[in-house]
Amino acid sequence: MLLLLENTHGDRVDPAPAERVGALNARLTHHGAWDVLNAAFYAVPDLALVSSFGAESVVLLHLAAMVRRDVPVIFIDTEMLFAETLVYQQEVAERLRLTNVRIIRADDLDAGDADGTLHTRDTDACCALRKTAPLQRALASHGGWITGRKRYQSGRRATLAFFELEGATGRIKVNPLARWSPDDVAEYMTENRLPRHPLVAAGYPSIGCAPCTSPVAAGEDPRAGRWRDQDKDECGIHFVDGKMIRTGATI
């Protein structure tokens, strides 16, 4: 069942993706993550969830599992992740009884980064090779994807909407937790007794690949440990053709 709109003649029509995104954002302006997820599964065809199984990922995975346990969950193994992340991924998938986890990897590392040192020379190229390209291939058969992005995570995300349209791909991106605060995340994890990523207790509030993630000191921005001392705060999976994906609509 897809979101349908009425044209000027009163006929029920399937809207174009841009219209669907606008209608969903308008309809769900005052709703929460649960309603956004439920609406997304009905309104967006072939929806997948993309998860890093990082510090806060278990919240979105738990919510999605309660709505649709067989949602395709795409996990990108960059082959540079912390061992703790790989173990945590298996633990969370089993705990939440996720039945459709898909682990994807780059298929051209020998040509692009044979010695595994690309990240020391060009972090953007490394992210593109190990994360962005494999994800785009994995998403090719999906009409949209669910992310765990939140407005508080960085300045780029300050006006994040529940639904966005990727203009270059035509896919709809769903951000059910866009308005959640750090306290909301912590409270949800505690109330639902969700397992925490073991590196959080070691000072890693945001977790990516091991070579490009460092502990964060008290008082620092939670994402300060990602690509420290570089002018970079996104890995690139939320970009298409080098540009941040925006819809122009904010809620």
CB atoms within 10 A of CB 6: 10
List all residues 6 or more positions away from 204 whose beta carbon is below 8 Å from its beta carbon: 55, 197, 213, 215, 216, 225
Q: Return the active site residues.
A: 235
What CA–CA distance (Å, rounded) separates 98 from 5? 33
Phi-psi region of 60 (alpha: psi -120 to 50; beta: other; left: phi over 0): alpha
Strands 243-244 and 239-240: antiparallel
Ramachandran angles phi, psi of 146, nearest 5°:
-100, 135
User: CB–CB of 95/224 below 8 Å?
Assistant: no
What are the C-alpha distances in Å from 146 to residues 119, 143, 231?
27, 11, 26
